[in-house]
Amino acid sequence: MTPYVAVIGASRPTAEDLVDAEAIGRGLAERGAIVVTGGRGGVMAAASRGAAEAGGVVVGLLPGLDRGEANEWVTVALTTGLGDLRNGLVARAADAVVAVGGAYGTLSEIALALQAATPVFGLHSWEIDGVRRVASPREAILAAFEAATAGTGHSGA
Amino acid sequence: MTPYVAVIGASRPTAEDLVDAEAIGRGLAERGAIVVTGGRGGVMAAASRGAAEAGGVVVGLLPGLDRGEANEWVTVALTTGLGDLRNGLVARAADAVVAVGGAYGTLSEIALALQAATPVFGLHSWEIDGVRRVASPREAILAAFEAATAGTGHSGA
Amino acid sequence: MTPYVAVIGASRPTAEDLVDAEAIGRGLAERGAIVVTGGRGGVMAAASRGAAEAGGVVVGLLPGLDRGEANEWVTVALTTGLGDLRNGLVARAADAVVAVGGAYGTLSEIALALQAATPVFGLHSWEIDGVRRVASPREAILAAFEAATAGTGHSGA
Amino acid sequence: MTPYVAVIGASRPTAEDLVDAEAIGRGLAERGAIVVTGGRGGVMAAASRGAAEAGGVVVGLLPGLDRGEANEWVTVALTTGLGDLRNGLVARAADAVVAVGGAYGTLSEIALALQAATPVFGLHSWEIDGVRRVASPREAILAAFEAATAGTGHSGA
C-alpha cells in the first residue's frame, strides 16, 4: 500500500523550516509516499517542491475555491472551499503527519490528527503531549515513513 | 446582538472541570448568551446543564447523525455527521470560546478559534500562546461575555 | 422528542412561495417543531418569520462567517463558513424537509435528504422521484410534522 | 493548466453506465485531464479504471475514513469522513462534471455543481435544467474536456 504522509507548517515559516520541509518532502517522495499538504506557501510549498522534484505525487488541499492558490509544485490541487476546516481533511487523509514549525493552523492539524490517533512527528514545532519530537529532516522522514507504512488507520485491510 | 459563547472541554473531565463548566454555562445564560457546545458528555453536558437550568438556549453541534447522542440539556441539537470536524463549526459559531480542561478535541477547537482570531479563555486548560488564562468560572464568564459582546467577528453590523 | 423540520427554497422566490413558506413556518412552530433553514432571504426568511412570530425556535445555518447574513427572524444563527455545503447540514439536521419552490441549492438539499432517507415534501418545487408532492401549506405542515415525529432517523431512542 | 473533470454516477449502475463511464474515464485521461470521483464502486470504479489504464491520475474522494473503501484504480485516495457531503467536494474540485446515470448522490453533485456554475454534462442521467445532455461517451469527453479547459472557475490566473 502507498503511504500518505502530511507535511504541515506555517505559511510564514523560518528559513530553517523551509530547508527542512523541502528535505522532508523529497525524502518521503523518494521512498514512494504520497505527500499531502494544505497546498499553499511556506512549509507547504517547500515540502511540495521537494516531493515534486523527486518525482512524487503532491496533493494540495486548498482552503478556497481558486486552484490558482496552489503552489506550483502541487501535482493534484483540490479546491475545497472549507477555509481552515480543510486542515482537518489534511489530517484525515494522512497515515502520518510531520509538523515543521507552524502556527495555529498547524496546531489544529496536529490536534485533529492526534484525536484520530494518527502519528504526529514534530520538527521544531508545537510541543504537545503525543507529538513525537524529531531532531532532523532525516529522522522525520524515517519515522513518518515507518509509521505510515505500519499504520492501519486508513489502510483498509 | 445576542452573544454566542462556546464552552468546550473533554468528554472525560475532572470533577473540578464539571463543577466549573456548569457554573460557566449558568453564568453565560443568565447574562443572555447563547451557549454553543459539542453537545455530548463531560464538560459539554455540564455547561449545557448550567445554561439550560438558567433558562438559556443551548446549541449542541453533534459529531454524528443520531440526535440521541445529545446530552439532555441541549435545547437545539444539530446532527452534523462531520465527526471531529464539527469542532471547527463550534469554534466558527462562537464570538468567544471558554475552554475548561480538555484533551485533543479541545485543543483543535482552541487552535481553530485562535486562527480565526476568536478570543479564547482557558480555565485549567491547554496553555497555548493566545489563550487568555482565567482563574475562576466567574472570571471566565465576565471575560468571555465581554469579549463576545464587543466582538465584531460574527456580529454583522 | 421535539421534531426538527427544514424549510428550504430559493433566496429569490415567487410571491406565492413567500406566502406559503411563512404559513408553513408558522404552522410548524405552532405544533412545536424546531424550524431549520439556511438562514438567509427569500423562502428562508419567510419561513423564519412565520415560525418566529409563532414563538418558535428558528435555526439558521449560514453559508458564510458573518452572523449579519442571517435574516432577522432567525433565533439561533450559526455561521458555518461552508458555503453551499451547508445545504447538506440543513438536510442532516432535519427529521423532515419541506421544499417550497427553489433553485439549485434547494435541489441539492432535496437530493442529500433523499440520499439520507429523510422524508421530503415539495410544494410547487422540484419534481424528483421520492419527493412527495403536497398541494397546500396546510398539507405540507401536517405531512412534514407527522413524518418528523414518526421518523427514527435522528431521534435517538 | 491541467483540467480536472469529475465523473459521477451511481454505485449500482446499469451495464451501459459502466461501459460508458469506463470509456469516458479513458478518454479524459488520454487528453491529460485529472479524473475526480467519489472513489467507490459502480460508475466511480469504471471511470477510474478507464482513466488509470490510460495512465492518468485518478482522485477518489472517499466518504469514510478507511482508504480500503477506494476502488483499485484510484491513484490518489483521500479519506474525508464527510459521508455524502464529500459529494460537494467532488463538485468543487472539478472544472467540469460528467454525470453517467446516477441516483440521489449523483443528483446532489449535479445540483451543487450547477449552483457553483460548473458545467455539467449528462449521459442518460438526471434531466435537470442546466445539465447539457450528451448522447455518447465521445461527446461527453469532448464537451467536458473543452469546458474544463476553457473554464475559469478554478483555474486561478
Q: What is the pLDDT of residues B70-117, one digit of tens each?
A: 999 999 999 999 999 999 999 999 999 999 999 999 999 999 999 999
Residue of A nearest to C86 (CA): A82
ipTM: 0.94
Query: Is the CB of B111 inside 8 Å of chain A's CB atoms?
Result: yes
The tens digit of pLDDT for each residue in B55-77 reads 999 999 999 999 999 999 999 99
Q: What residues of B are in contact with residue A85 (Cβ under 8 Å)?
A: 85, 88-89, 112
Report d(CA C128, CA C122) in Å as an integer: 9
Tell me the mean pLDDT in the region C30-44.
Answer: 97
Rounded mean pLDDT, A64-91? 97
Cα angle A81-A85-A90, degrees, rounded to a multiple of 5: 95
The mean pLDDT of chain B is 95
Q: Give the chain A residue whose CA is nearest to the CA of D88.
A: A80
Say whether pLDDT at B157 is over 60: no
D-contacting chains (≥3 CB pairs under 8 Å): A, B, C
Comparing CB atoms, the residue among C108, C115, C116 nearest residue D112 is: C108
**Which chain D residues touch C116 with a CB distance below 8 Å?**
84
Joined grid coordinates for residue D145: 474536456
Chain D CB within 8 Å of residue A149 CB: no
> Is D117 a domain residue?
yes
| Mean of pLDDT values over A63-80 | 97
Report chain A's mean pLDDT, rounded to a whole number.
95
* pLDDT at residue C154 in the model: 59
Q: What's the CATH number where B103 sits? A: 3.40.50.450
Is the minimum CB–CB distance between C78 and chain A shorter than 8 Å? no
- The region of weakest confidence among D10-14, D48-52, D122-126 is D10-14
Would the CB atoms of C112 and D128 count as touching at under 8 Å?
no
In a domain, D155, yes or no: no
Cβ contact (<8 Å) for A156 and D75? Answer: no
* B-chain residues near A87 (CB < 8 A): 112
Q: What is the pLDDT of residue A154?
A: 59
> Looking at residues A83-108, what average pLDDT do you find?
96
Contact D116/C at CB under 8 A: yes
pLDDT band at D156 (very low <50, low <70, confident <90, very high): very low
Burial B133-143 (b: 16+ CB within 10 A, else e): ebeebeebbeb
pLDDT-derived band at C157 (thresholds 50, 70, 90) equals very low
- B120 and B114 in contact (C-beta within 8 Å)? yes
Q: Is the dihedral of CA B144, B147, B149, B153 positive or negative?
A: negative
Domain residues for the domain of C44 are: 4-150
In a domain, C157, yes or no: no
- Tens digits of per-residue pLDDT, C107-143? 999 999 999 999 999 999 999 999 999 999 999 999 9
When pLDDT is cut at 50, 70 and 90, the band that residue C156 belongs to is very low
User: Which of A88, A115, A128 is nearest residue B88 as measured by Cβ atoms?
Assistant: A88
Q: Do A67 and D157 touch (CB under 8 A)?
A: no
pLDDT confidence bin for A157, thresholds 50/70/90: very low
* Residue whose C-alpha is closest to residue C89's, from B71, D9, B94, D83: D83
Which residues in B59-96 are b (16+ Cβ under 10 Å) and which e? bbbbbbbbbebbbebbbbbbbbbbbbbbbbbbbbbbbb
Q: How many angstroms separate the CA atoms of B90 and B88, rounded?
A: 5
Which residues in chain D touch residue C112, judged by CB atoms under 8 angstroms apart? 84-85, 87, 104, 108
- The label of the residue with cell 419534481 reads C127
**Is D19 touching B (CB cutoff 8 A)?**
no
Element (H, E) at D43: helix D43-53
> Mean pLDDT throughout D76-104?
97
Average pLDDT score over residue span B33-42:
97
Share of chain A above pLDDT 70, in %: 96
Q: How many domains does the structure of chain B reveal? A: 1
Rounded to the nearest angstrom, the minimum Cα separation between A70 and chain C is: 20
Q: Give the confidence band of D151 by pLDDT, cuts at 50, 70, 90.
A: low
User: Which of D89, D111, D116 lies closest to C111 in CB terms?
Assistant: D111
- Residue C68 sits at the chain A interface (C-beta within 8 Å): no
Check CB contact under 8 Å for B155 and C67: yes
Give the tens place of pLDDT for each residue, A111-138.
999 999 999 999 999 999 999 999 999 9
Lowest mean pLDDT among A93-97, A106-110, B145-149, D8-12: D8-12
Mean pLDDT, residues D66-94 taken together = 97
3-state secondary structure of D145: helix
The 10s digit of each residue's pLDDT in D16-67 is: 999 999 999 999 999 999 999 999 999 999 999 999 999 999 999 999 999 9
Question: Contacts of residue D89 in chain C, CB cutoff 8 Å?
Answer: 85
Mean pLDDT confidence for C20-30: 98
Over residues D107-122, mean pLDDT = 97
**Subunit partners of chain C (3 or more CB pairs within 8 A):** A, B, D
Probe site for chain B from A12, A90, A107, A128 (most B CB atoms < 10 A): A107
Tell me what pLDDT residue B154 has.
Answer: 60
Chain B hits for D65, CB-CB cut-off 8 Å, are 83
Q: Which residues of B touch A110 (CB under 8 A)?
A: 107, 111
pLDDT at A11: 86
Q: Is the pLDDT of residue B20 over 50?
A: yes
Q: Is residue A156 part of a domain?
A: no
Residue A157 lies in a domain: no
**What pLDDT does residue B156 have?**
42
| Residue A73 belongs to a domain | yes
Each residue's pLDDT tens digit, D101-111: 999 999 999 99
Distance in Å, alpha carbon of D108 to nearest chain C alpha carbon: 5
Residue C128 confidence (pLDDT)? 95
Helix or strand (DSSP H, E) at D147: helix D137-150
Q: How far is CA A136 from CA A16, A120, A122, B142, in A?
A: 11, 15, 10, 45
- Whether residue B155 is predicted with pLDDT greater than 90 in this model: the reply is no
CA closest to C89 among chain D residues: D85
Nearest CA in chain B to C70: B156
Q: Distance (Å) from the C-alpha of residue D116 to the closest C-alpha of chain B?
A: 22
pLDDT digit string (tens) for A22-43?
A: 999 999 999 999 999 999 999 9
Q: Is residue B142 part of a domain?
A: yes
Q: What is the pLDDT of residue B151?
A: 66
For the segment C86-115, the average pLDDT, to the nearest whole number, is 96
Phi, psi of B37 (to 5 degrees): -140, 180
Q: Give pLDDT, residue C151.
A: 66
Nearest to B71 by CA among B39, B101, B96: B39
C-alpha cell at B77: 441539537
What residues form DSSP beta bridges with B58?
B35
A53 in a structural domain: yes
